[in-house]
Amino acid sequence: MNYMSKETCEPSPALLEERYALAMGRLREIAQETALSGDADVYFGTMARHLLLLGETRSALGRPVGELDRAEPDAGKTEFERQKQLNHRLYQDLLPENYAQCWANPRRAARAFGKRVGQLLAMLAAELYELPGIVYESAAAKGAERVYPAYAIAALEELTASLELFIEVYSLFEQAAAEEGKYPAPARIREVLYWFFSDYTDVFAAQRLLDAIDPERDFAVRIVMDSDLSDLSYLYRYGEYVTDSELETARFLNSRSPEQIEEMARTFTQGYQTGFVKAGKDLTKKNTVNIRYQLGFERMVREAVRQFAQMGLQPVIYRRALSRINKRGVARIGYSGAVANPQFDYDHKEDQALFLDGAYVQRKLDVMRTTYEAHREEAAGHAGPAVIEVFGEPPFSPQDCPQALHLTAKGQALSVSLLQQSAALTNTYIIGEERSFTIIAFPSPQIGPDFEEIFRDTMVVNTMDSREYERIQQCLIDVLDQAETVHVTGRCGNRTDLTIALAPLSDPERQTNFENCVADVNIPVGEVFTSPRLEGTNGVLHVSQVYLNGLDYHDLCLTFRDGMITDYSCGGFEDEQAGREYVKNTVLFNHASLPMGEFAIGTNTAAYAMAERYGIGAQLPILIAEKCGPHFAVGDTCYSWEEDVPVYNPDGKEVTARDNSISILRRKDPQKAYFGCHTDITIPYSQLGLVEVRRADGERIPLLKDGRFVLPGTAVLNEPLEELD
């Protein structure tokens, strides 16, 4: 069977259904065959039965789910209970309690097949375990004539190709067992996998781009807008993993009044609109907005869709990436259900190592360019993302897996290059100077028994008075603009000792270094920030614990010289080198170094007090945590790809510190200017010793001391902190 035989760029549904039926027939045979022995027989039998379950699921999507499992009586089970049971079956092998015996676990596969074969089979299993969402999209043929939406055709092709890949790898083992009585050579397995991912980049990468800009790809939109949201079985229609957390979130939002839901959505959509207004960008030129959210927030999303429609924007709502072709580490960009097992995601974060080479990089860039060029109008009309984040998940400390695929130094360099070139290409068609974004965060029920109280307090934090903060923050900016450098130190075990250099102002009457940030694109209100001058920025940044991009860090320490990271470490690992690799992979994103792209002072002491009252500081998303003390971002500046767009504060002064000596290289070589990452690291007030302005004449002006604001005009910010004493 040749999974690479694609008749056209867009094969007909009939052809795909025929290929799919042939693949499912072969899988039934594999599940019953005994051509292999030992662990190979167990591996292929287990995976074949999993794929058959996917097939049964797809066949049953138009009829009661209870018909899927005739082995168990359905008497007494509601449709909701049946769907919940099915959802669990689709993801059960990945769950922490079952993962030790799961074939997607590289440790298990390596024990059975040896490291080289095991890591390849684990990677294949991981790709197949990501298919449930694709199954649900592929079954979306509409009407008696079975009209297939574009997303359903794309999903059916991805599903069918994945089944055919599994069958081809099985055939390798079957042939090797018949001829030599052993496993096929690792190089032969790798070759089959390599060409699958290389060839199907033409399909999977192109479809990913179209999902982001084409409002007719409305699989998730129809769930949000057409479902009876009071019947929580709608959550299972996505094919994502659903836990009690998503169900409880949906129940909680269903208990809110229409006015409360409208207020939540209005804060979100107005922040988005304000981002365009403040930046002087024309929103009327745009026609689509990408909404990202965690399952359970559909009632708020539905209202946001209506409000965006009043701005002339249609929603594009796409799923988190499932295939290794489109994945980026452990990040989940798009709508998402629960994480079945964060260790599974972490084990497979570098699976691209199997196929990432120079030829692949060029091929993927060519696919992106061709797709964007064919859809220039849709890309130009895209306004950017509107993101609803959740927080409260238990912090996750991963275990390194030597048996998993890992990028070599050359592979890391290629990964960085692909990321940088992809970003530049995207910016050419979805023009950075014309788009914006907004982000808002709410707690998940996983945060504990105080969920409802924390949710209500978060709503208060998200809707605080921007005008008062604008005035207070201007007091800070007026003094910061006098600074040559700012000195920041820690206390209570925090070893931070940093000197941050600031760009000189040629016309202080009309210019400022710091943006007065209130609640627009970054909700909630509360920070002043700048792009620091790299030369002269030196010292150590340390935090005892921080939660970044879904991962937990203990004793994270970064050393800077002239604004660049020169050393780094992280606790919580038996091996010091393992901690360094953890930081390099997940904070530096495999770059040899990163610049300090942002220095900011968070002023939202009410958010900090909320976190302290409930003991949830380690679980706050960076969106809120960055407002709870001074913070430093490593990677790109806040103005990446938009450095030439003038930015003005409410007092009329232009924010001129939009570049640094790295980002300015964009004028000659964008690949040297941008890193494709921006990670904020906050020192909480409780660990803050001093933030002090140092003027060129030697005068020193403290802004914060021992975790309290001391600059005249800012004392009101201490009130929430004093309530904690």
Q: What is the predicted pLDDT for the residue at 619? A: 86
Q: What is the predicted pLDDT for the residue at 488? A: 98
Q: What is the predicted pLDDT for the residue at 68? A: 46
Q: How far apart are CA 231 and CA 79, in angstroms?
A: 10
Is residue 314 within 8 Å of residue 296, measured between CB atoms? no
pLDDT in tens, 25-51: 999 999 998 889 899 999 999 999 999
Is residue 543 within 8 Å of residue 681, measured between CB atoms? yes
- Confidence band (pLDDT; 50, 70, 90) for 360? very high
Mean pLDDT for the stretch of residues 560-574: 94
pLDDT higher for 510 or 61? Answer: 510
Is residue 333 within 8 Å of residue 320, measured between CB atoms? yes
Q: How far apart are CA 688 and CA 461, in angstroms?
A: 22
Q: What is the predicted pLDDT for the residue at 464? A: 87
Q: How far apart are CA 461 and CA 55, in angstroms?
A: 46
Q: What is the predicted pLDDT for the residue at 278? A: 83
Locus of tokens 């002043």: 528
For residue 441, give the nearest of 628, 709, 586 by alpha carbon.
628
Locus of tokens 């949906």: 250
Q: What is the predicted pLDDT for the residue at 7? A: 37
Q: What is the predicted pLDDT for the residue at 67? A: 46
Asked whether residue 151 carries a pLDDT value surpassing 90, the answer given is yes
* Residue 137: CA count within 13 A, CB half-sphere: 28
Q: How far apart are CA 564 and CA 536, in angstroms?
A: 10
Two structure tokens written together for 382: 């895209």
Q: How far apart are CA 477 and CA 40, in angstroms?
A: 65
Q: What is the predicted pLDDT for the residue at 10? A: 65
Amino acid identity, residue 326? Answer: N
pTM of the full predicted structure? 0.90
Asked whether residue 504 carries a pLDDT value surpassing 90, the answer given is yes
End-to-end CA distance of the chain: 70
Q: What is the predicted pLDDT for the residue at 1? A: 37
φ, ψ at 644 (rounded to 5°):
-90, 0
Q: How far apart are CA 683 and CA 546, in angstroms?
A: 9
**Element housing 512 (H / E):** strand 511-512
Q: How far apart are CA 462 and CA 460, in angstroms?
A: 5
Mean pLDDT for the stretch of residues 283-304: 98
| DSSP bridge pairs for 488 | 498, 691
Q: How far apart are CA 316 and CA 436, in angstroms?
A: 15
Mean pLDDT for the stretch of residues 187-211: 96
Q: How far apart are CA 283 and CA 306, in angstroms?
A: 16
Is residue 583 within 8 Å of residue 634, measured between CB atoms? no
Is residue 687 within 8 Å of residue 681, measured between CB atoms? no
Sequence spans of domains, the chain = 1-199, 203-463, 465-722
Mean pLDDT for the stretch of residues 73-85: 79
Name the DSSP class of 361.
Answer: H
The SS3 assignment for 189 reads helix
For residue 248, give the nearest of 458, 386, 462, 443 by alpha carbon.
443
- Confidence band (pLDDT; 50, 70, 90) for 573? confident
Asked whether residue 568 carries a pLDDT value surpassing 70, the answer given is yes
pLDDT higher for 398 or 488? Answer: 488
Q: How far is CA 617 from the centre of its chain?
A: 21
| Least confident stretch, 111-115, 178-182, 322-326, 640-644 | 178-182
Two structure tokens written together for 151: 């997303």
- Confidence band (pLDDT; 50, 70, 90) for 75? low
Q: What is the predicted pLDDT for the residue at 496? A: 98
Length of the chain equals 725
Asked whether residue 401 carries a pLDDT value surpassing 60, the answer given is yes
Alpha helices in 200-288 (DSSP H): 201-213, 219-226, 244-254, 258-278
Q: What is the predicted pLDDT for the residue at 86? A: 96
Q: What is the predicted pLDDT for the residue at 418? A: 94
Q: What is the predicted pLDDT for the residue at 473? A: 96
Asked whether residue 519 carries a pLDDT value surpassing 70, the answer given is no
Q: What is the predicted pLDDT for the residue at 3? A: 37
Q: What is the predicted pLDDT for the residue at 6? A: 38
For residue 364, give the nearest of 429, 432, 417 by alpha carbon.
417
Q: How far apart are CA 422 and CA 677, in angstroms?
A: 13
Q: What percent of the chain has pLDDT over 90?
A: 80
φ, ψ at 27 (rounded to 5°):
-65, -35
Mean pLDDT for the stretch of residues 368-387: 97
pLDDT in tens, 621-648: 888 999 999 999 999 999 988 888 888 9
| Residue 485: C-alpha distances to residues 154, 272, 598 (Å) | 54, 33, 14
pLDDT in tens, 263-276: 999 999 999 999 99
Locus of tokens 């953890």: 582
Locus of tokens 């999209």: 137
Two structure tokens written together for 527: 């920070």
Beta strand 596-602 with 551-561: parallel, antiparallel or unpaired?
A: unpaired
For residue 639, give the nearest of 507, 503, 477 by alpha carbon.
503
Mean pLDDT for the stretch of residues 655-670: 93
Asked whether residue 63 carries a pLDDT value surpassing 80, the answer given is no
For the chain, what is the mean pLDDT?
Answer: 92
For residue 153, give the nearest of 320, 7, 23, 11 by alpha carbon.
11
pLDDT in tens, 576-635: 999 999 999 899 998 999 999 999 999 999 999 999 999 998 888 888 999 999 999 999
Is residue 604 within 8 Å of residue 524, measured between CB atoms? yes
Q: What is the predicted pLDDT for the residue at 42? A: 96
Q: What is the predicted pLDDT for the residue at 426? A: 94
Q: What percent of the chain has pLDDT over 70?
A: 96
Is residue 150 within 8 Å of residue 217, measured between CB atoms? yes
Asked whether residue 2 carries a pLDDT value surpassing 50, the answer given is no
Note the maximum CA span of the chain: 84
Two structure tokens written together for 74: 């359905």
Q: What is the predicted pLDDT for the residue at 180? A: 78
Mean pLDDT for the stretch of residues 182-202: 96
The SS3 assignment for 586 reads helix
Q: What is the predicted pLDDT for the residue at 142? A: 56
Q: How far apart are CA 269 and CA 311, in angstroms?
A: 9
Q: What is the predicted pLDDT for the residue at 145? A: 57
* Residue 238: CA count within 13 A, CB half-sphere: 26
Two structure tokens written together for 444: 């998940």
- Confidence band (pLDDT; 50, 70, 90) for 66? very low
Report CA Rg, the chain.
Answer: 26
Q: How far apart are CA 693 and CA 601, in angstroms?
A: 12
